[in-house]
Amino acid sequence: MTGSEGTEPFRVDDPDATPSARTGLPVVVIGAGPVGLAAAAHLLDRGLEPLVLEAGPQVGANIAQWRHVRLFSPWCLALDPVSVRLLGAAGWTGPDPSTLPTGADLLDQYLQPLAAMPALTSRIRLHSRVVAIARRDLDKVRTPGRERLPFAVRVRVGSGRLHDLEARAVIDASGTWTQPNPLGASGLPALGEADARRHITYGLPDVLGRDRARFAGLRVLVVGAGHSAATSLLALAELERQAPATQIVWAVPRPPRDPWSARAAPGPTSSPPEAGLPPTLPRWSTPATSSWSAAFASARSAWPVTALCSMATRSTATTTSPTRAVDGSRPTR
Ligand SMILES: Cc1cc2nc3c(=O)[nH]c(=O)nc-3n(C[C@H](O)[C@H](O)[C@H](O)COP(=O)(O)OP(=O)(O)OC[C@H]3O[C@@H](n4cnc5c(N)ncnc54)[C@H](O)[C@@H]3O)c2cc1C
């Protein structure tokens, strides 16, 4: 079959087409964030059995920690089409696709209603942290038949006992919120970073709300150049207006100089490697801060939401044809 734009639909051969030790086992999905819940909806849509293991006390447990932040993508990019179809069949009407939700909106208006759907709710286990994954009956030296064996998934339930589950496959949708970038170069913590841990806030603190006292009237160094840094800088600029003793210093990484370049291109203009700096430390520079606040704010308001939504609708149209309905039967079209 050829897709409407002349492209071949994506096909995957089922490794379990013939009965094996994995037959009948669930596909374990790690995490009940937006990606984990979408994965579970897609598995059901294909007649497969999901089991979603969520470490936190609720679905979207990571998002619950940044409820106060507005997303940079509109609803049309935050909603999964198969999940929307499942919700729509139960009478759910979605939000305005062109508006930007907050983390709280995403939870309250989408993830929690989705997780409450009878088809999903019985397949989600809260307070269940996956701590290890292996192949059943294999160890570090034995490997024959690995691809036909089930996965062994070790789960800590609450703060208590460990349990082992068997799974046909495992989808890791555990997100990145609890694995922030360290301050050092090469993905390693900077020397001394662990010792300074109590002075460092990773992720996105609620600068104007819950975490205000931690920053008001103090000198705050923001490290990073992504959306989280921009969001924190805007909040700190507002805090500086409310509490003028607050000072903001912003450091963005710049690529380290190649220490070998002096050797590769010797000559009077080549610079020596930076003396005295251990090679694992990133080089930070501080941009001029006079106008970044206004620049960020206007960039955010100028994002072409309508264009993004129409792109999302186009790509949705070519990717949503189901192979199986939720009850396992094949669709009629
Ligand atoms: C402030 C902020 C704003 C953002 N804005 C946008 C945006 O506008 N647009 C966008 O596309 N993205 C945005 N993101 C990125 C956003 O995090 C992701 O798009 C989205 O949350 C990813 O969903 P996820 O399901 O992969 O991960 P998460 O939402 O992080 O969910 C992972 C889930 O897995 C659970 N979990 C983790 N480890 C385990 C384990 N070992 N066992 C069991 N469960 C586990 C967690 O408790 C959590 O519930 C933003 C992120 C932040 C922090």
Report if residue 14 sits inside a domain.
no
How far apart CA 33 and CA 79 sit, in angstroms, is 12
Under DSSP, the state recorded for 201 is -
> What pLDDT does 173 receive?
98
Report if residue 22 sits inside a domain.
no
- Dist. CA 65 → ligand 1 center (Å): 10
Is there a single domain that holds both residue 162 and residue 93?
yes
Is there a single domain that holds both residue 209 and residue 297?
yes
Backbone angles phi, psi at 249, to 5 degrees: -120, 130
Domain ranges, residue 145: 27-177+308-318
SS (H, E, C) 50-70: EEEECCCCCCCCCHHHHCCCE
The count of other CB atoms within 10 Å of the CB of residue 332 is: 5
Is there a single domain that holds both residue 173 and residue 249?
no
Is there a single domain that holds both residue 37 and residue 173?
yes
pLDDT in tens, the chain (333 residues): 444 556 666 676 666 677 788 888 999 999 999 999 999 999 999 999 999 999 999 999 999 999 988 898 899 999 999 999 999 999 999 899 999 999 999 999 999 999 999 999 999 999 999 999 999 989 888 888 888 899 999 999 998 899 999 999 999 999 988 888 888 877 889 899 999 999 999 988 999 999 999 999 999 999 888 888 888 999 999 999 999 999 998 887 666 555 555 444 443 333 333 433 334 444 455 555 545 666 666 655 555 556 667 665 554 433 333 333 333 333 333
Backbone angles phi, psi at 163, to 5 degrees: -130, 150
* pTM score of the predicted model: 0.75
- Any ligand 1 atom below 6 A from CB of 33: yes
Cα separation values, 70 from 50, 227, 274, 324, Å: 30, 11, 40, 35
> What pLDDT does 320 receive?
30
Report if residue 146 sits inside a domain.
yes
How far apart CA 215 and CA 279 sit, in angstroms, is 31
Report if residue 4 sits inside a domain.
no
Is there a single domain that holds both residue 147 and residue 34?
yes
CB 36 within 8 A of CB 52: yes
- Dist. CA 171 → ligand 1 center (Å): 14
Q: Which atom of ligand 1 is nearest to the CA of 78?
A: 11
- The residues facing 28 across adjacent strands are 51, 170
How far apart CA 184 and CA 283 sit, in angstroms, is 9
Is there a single domain that holds both residue 213 and residue 162?
no
Q: State the DSSP string of 101-121.
A: PBHHHHIIIIIHHHHTSHHHH
Q: Which atom of ligand 1 is nearest to the CA of 176?
A: 30
In this structure, which residue's CA is closest to atom 35 in ligand 1? 31
Return the closest-CA partner of residue 173 out of 17, 54, 255, 267.
Answer: 54
- Pure H helices in 2-66: 34-45
The count of other CB atoms within 10 Å of the CB of residue 122 is: 9
Cα Rg of the chain, angstroms: 24
Collapsing DSSP to helix, strand or coil, 1 comes out as coil
Mutate to test the pocket of ligand 1, among 53, 62, 202 (most ligand atoms within 8 A of CB): 62
CB 78 within 8 A of CB 71: yes
CB 257 within 8 A of CB 283: yes
Is there a single domain that holds both residue 173 and residue 198?
no
- Dist. CA 23 → ligand 1 center (Å): 31
Chain centroid to CA 326: 26
Report if residue 19 sits inside a domain.
no
Is there a single domain that holds both residue 77 and residue 191?
no
In this structure, which residue's CA is closest to atom 9 in ligand 1? 73
Report if residue 243 sits inside a domain.
yes
- Dist. CA 302 → ligand 1 center (Å): 25
> What pLDDT does 332 receive?
32
- Dist. CA 175 → ligand 1 center (Å): 4
- Any ligand 1 atom below 6 A from CB of 30: yes
CB 64 within 8 A of CB 103: yes
CB 135 within 8 A of CB 151: yes
Under DSSP, the state recorded for 301 is H
Collapsing DSSP to helix, strand or coil, 219 comes out as strand
- Any ligand 1 atom below 6 A from CB of 181: no
Please provide the distance, in angstroms rounded to a whole number, between the alpha carbons at the two ends of the chain: 13
Q: Which helix (H) or strand (E) holds 134?
A: strand 128-135
How far apart CA 197 and CA 19 sit, in angstroms, is 51
Is there a single domain that holds both residue 168 and residue 195?
no
The count of other CB atoms within 10 Å of the CB of residue 106 is: 23
Report if residue 3 sits inside a domain.
no
- CATH code, domain carrying 59: 3.50.50.60
Is there a single domain that holds both residue 33 and residue 130?
yes
Is there a single domain that holds both residue 166 and residue 68?
yes
Return the closest-CA partner of residue 219 out of 183, 249, 197.
Answer: 249
- Dist. CA 261 → ligand 1 center (Å): 40
- Any ligand 1 atom below 6 A from CB of 32: yes
Report if residue 333 sits inside a domain.
no
Q: Give me the number of domains the chain comprises.
A: 2
Is there a single domain that holds both residue 130 and residue 240?
no
